[in-house]
Amino acid sequence: MLKLKHRIATIGSHSALQILKGAKDEGFETICVCEKKRVKPYKMFPVADEIIEVDSFKDFLKIEKQLIEKDAIVIPHGSFVEYLKSDKIKKLKVPHYGNKNILDWETDRRKQAKWLTQAGIKMPKIFDKAKDIDRPVIVKFHGARGGRGYFLANSPEDFEKKIAAHPDEEVTIQEYVVGVPIYVHYFYSRVTGELEILGFDKRYESNADSIGRVAAADQITTNLQTSYTIVGNIPLVVRESLLPYFIKIGERVVEESKKLEKPGLYGPFCLEGIVTQDLILTVFEISARIVAGTNPFVAGSPYTFFKYNEPMSTGRRIARDIKQAIEEDKMDLILG
């Protein structure tokens, strides 16, 4: 295999194992920047050729020079965005896979709503004022905290009662859409000009995905409430007749991003929503980078199997995009 000059680096959490494994499978050497207390998985699973230990992910900038010297390209993921914040990411000098400016459109909920709505995608109604709550709503805290503490409310009174436990939190009050959660994993390559669907999953949330194991009568006598802490992910496939619809939605998201933030969104992204009984996807969030919901598919998904004759994860697809850009001398298409 061609020895590649560049190395692939990311920070050790979220989907790092997949990213680094995929990079190795494409022939890159790999670097895991890792907090000392989190290093064990990256020793147990030999996907990192080098581990750079830091006391805290906040020290990432201190080791940036090392990464530049090693010809590293960094791959952002959810924890990367959470710990570095988009303003620090924008100032990074080490080459970064993906359009940095698009991250603002992911983290700012108003910009996100503008993007998706202009792309013609259905979103849950947002209530700016609690007093307007006229249907079931879900109350979400800002920042990627894995859904901890999210709660349901039915009325302004119900909301006020429950928010009292979180006096200093900024929240979003969203319509609660009834249907099944689904996460659609896309990949758009500027190198090939093609959009791909790489798979689907649903999250496994504590206790939302097990409260239903308690009989209704017992739930009521024991006063059980739903919580939404993400614990993991479960693989699934969708009805084949839904694929044209999901493809169309993905195309619109990419097209709209080109108008809003040149050169637009590329690499992996995810629409996170609810499919109602009318088979409409209501999207409550977009992630403009790899999501952990691709982790069930580190050896490929049923969908990547249709196209590739080898195990193709989202992490590996990123590495292949970079490799192809290197080979075709199109690095400007993948770094942003």
Residue whose C-alpha is closest to residue 314's, from 285, 286, 329, 294? 294
- In whole angstroms, what is the distance from residue 229 CA to residue 10 CA? 24
Least distance between a copy of itself and beta carbon 189 (Å): 12
CA dihedral angle for residue 231, residue 235, residue 236, residue 242, rounded to 10 degrees: 90
> Is the CB of 97 or the CB of 186 nearer to a copy of itself?
186
- In whole angstroms, what is the distance from residue 298 CA to residue 312 CA? 7
3-state secondary structure of 203: strand
- In whole angstroms, what is the distance from residue 226 CA to residue 229 CA? 10
95, 98, 268, 296: residue in contact with a copy of itself (rule CB under 8 A): 296
x/- track of binding to a copy of itself for residues 117-156 (CB under 8 A):
-------------------x---------x-x---x-x--
10, 300, 318, 336: residue in contact with a copy of itself (rule CB under 8 A): 300
Q: Does 181 bind a copy of itself (CB under 8 A)?
A: yes
Least distance between a copy of itself and beta carbon 304 (Å): 9
Q: Does 253 bind a copy of itself (CB under 8 A)?
A: no
- In whole angstroms, what is the distance from residue 83 CA to residue 12 CA? 12
- In whole angstroms, what is the distance from residue 143 CA to residue 166 CA? 15
3, 128, 239, 329: residue in contact with a copy of itself (rule CB under 8 A): 239
> Is the CB of 111 or the CB of 202 nearer to a copy of itself?
202
Tokens (6 digits) for 319: 């590495």
The backbone torsions φ and ψ at residue 206, rounded to the nearest 5 degrees and listed phi first, read -100, 120
In this structure, are residues 217 and 227 in contact, taking their beta carbons and an 8 Å threshold? no
In this structure, are residues 318 and 268 in contact, taking their beta carbons and an 8 Å threshold? yes
Give 263: exposed, middle or buried? Use CB within 10 Å, 0-12, 13-18, 19+. Answer: middle
> Is the CB of 79 or the CB of 101 nearer to a copy of itself?
79
Stretch touching a copy of itself by CB under 8 A, among 65-73, 123-131, 228-236, 316-324: 228-236
> Is the CB of 19 or the CB of 326 nearer to a copy of itself?
19
Query: Binding to a copy of itself (CB under 8 A): which residues in 188-217?
Result: 194-197, 200, 202, 204-217
Tokens (6 digits) for 83: 């710990």
> Is the CB of 18 or the CB of 99 nearer to a copy of itself?
18
Least distance between a copy of itself and beta carbon 290 (Å): 12
Least distance between a copy of itself and beta carbon 106 (Å): 19
> Is the CB of 264 or the CB of 300 nearer to a copy of itself?
300
Q: Does 165 bind a copy of itself (CB under 8 A)?
A: no
x/- track of binding to a copy of itself for residues 44-83 (CB under 8 A):
xxxx-------------------------------x----
Q: Which residues of 72-96 are buried (b: 16+ CB within 10 A; e: fewer)?
A: bbbbbbbbbbbbbebeebeebebbb
